[in-house]
Amino acid sequence: MPVLVGVPLFLLAACLSLATSWLLVSRLERVGERLGLSEALLGMVAALAADAPEITSAVTALLTHQQRVGAGVVIGSNVFNLAALLGLGALVAGGLRFRRRVVVLGGSVAMFVAVVCLVTVLGWIPAWMGLGLAAIAMLDYMALLGLNRPGLRRLATRSRWGHWLRAAVVEEERDLDAAIRPRRARRGDVVTAMLALIVVVGASAIMERTASDLGSRFGVPEIVLGGLILAAVTSLPNAVAAVYLAVRGRGAAVLSIALNSNSLNVLFGLLLPGALVGLGAPSAQTALVAAWYTGLTAATLLIAHRQGGLRRPVGVLIVAAYAVFVVWLVIAAA
């Protein structure tokens, strides 16, 4: 593909995909509100919709047997999310505050999925097994978040652990209630969501194919193309939304978007297509990205729990860690 055609096509596809993903998120939130979903589940729906560009790009790459690009988009997006959503969010807002129970509840699932991602990329377990483990964790988490008040009360009476889980879910609901209040969907919103999804998927697929062609022409390593360039571009909607919420003091919503987006990325963008078409032979470069994602997730959650949030200096450190990751990955791919 000629450069004079490829570059404008990539930029057009990227802008169309990212702009339409905003429309998709808003309409799916309204549909979820009409279905009576809790605030936490609405946040999960919004995270999945905002992840559509990176998931589509990753699946397109895996289906065309560009495993490093596909894995790089997903895992690189997750590293970018930690830096842009939590690190930059804390830096811009002067700090983010979280309830410790919420950090433990959401963080445990996110950390489990990150570890599953790492061991799968390393080839220690097959992709289908990683998919099963991650899916069980996410489904249990969503089932817990979807409990109504009578269900939560019954859970609290069973054991001290059940009481703790109820308290954590209630606290997360209260924190998210002020940040996620969409109006109920009308008939046109469902049609708009379906059309937006088609546009996002199509534009993201074109974006990935165009970027791969341009990367081959200019000799850009696949892991850099996926793990840095496509990962950052496709994650911009989440980053903008997170900074917007962070400045308005919605730390819990920022944490929810970051952790849920990363887990859903791994589940739908890496493990599901990997189980169907394979992830290819283990790669040291992909393993490096996965290890960085797992380690940065663990460090961020540990600090967030100890401090009851993320202060501005910690935000600087997270952003700096991403800068080191970029330099390290470029050097490793050279």
Give me the pLDDT at residue 2, please.
Answer: 67
Give me the pLDDT at residue 35, please.
Answer: 67
Give me the pLDDT at residue 232, please.
Answer: 80
Task: Give the pTM.
Answer: 0.84
Buried b / exposed e across 232-250, counting CB within 10 Å, b at 16+? bbbbbbbbebbbebbeebb
> 311 forms bridges with which residues in the sheet?
95
- Mean pLDDT of the 122-137 span: 94
50-54, 85-89, 104-108, 151-155, range with the lowest pLDDT = 151-155
More confident of the two residues 328 and 33: 328
**Domain extent at residue 67:** 3-333
Sequence length of the chain is: 334
- Mean pLDDT of the 109-127 span: 95
Task: Tell me the pLDDT band of 175, cut-offs 50, 70 and 90.
Answer: low
- Mean pLDDT of the 199-214 span: 78
Q: How many domains does the structure of the chain reveal?
A: 1
Helix (H) or strand (E) run with residue 82 in it: none
**DSSP helix/strand/coil, 310:** strand
Closest alpha carbon to 305 in 87, 115, 93, 98:
98
Q: Is residue 182 within 8 Å of 29, Cβ to Cβ?
A: yes
Whose structure tokens read 């339409």?
Answer: 20
CATH number at residue 11: 1.20.1420.30
Asked if residue 122 has pLDDT above 90, the reply is yes
Q: In this prediction, what percent of the chain has a pLDDT beyond 90?
A: 24
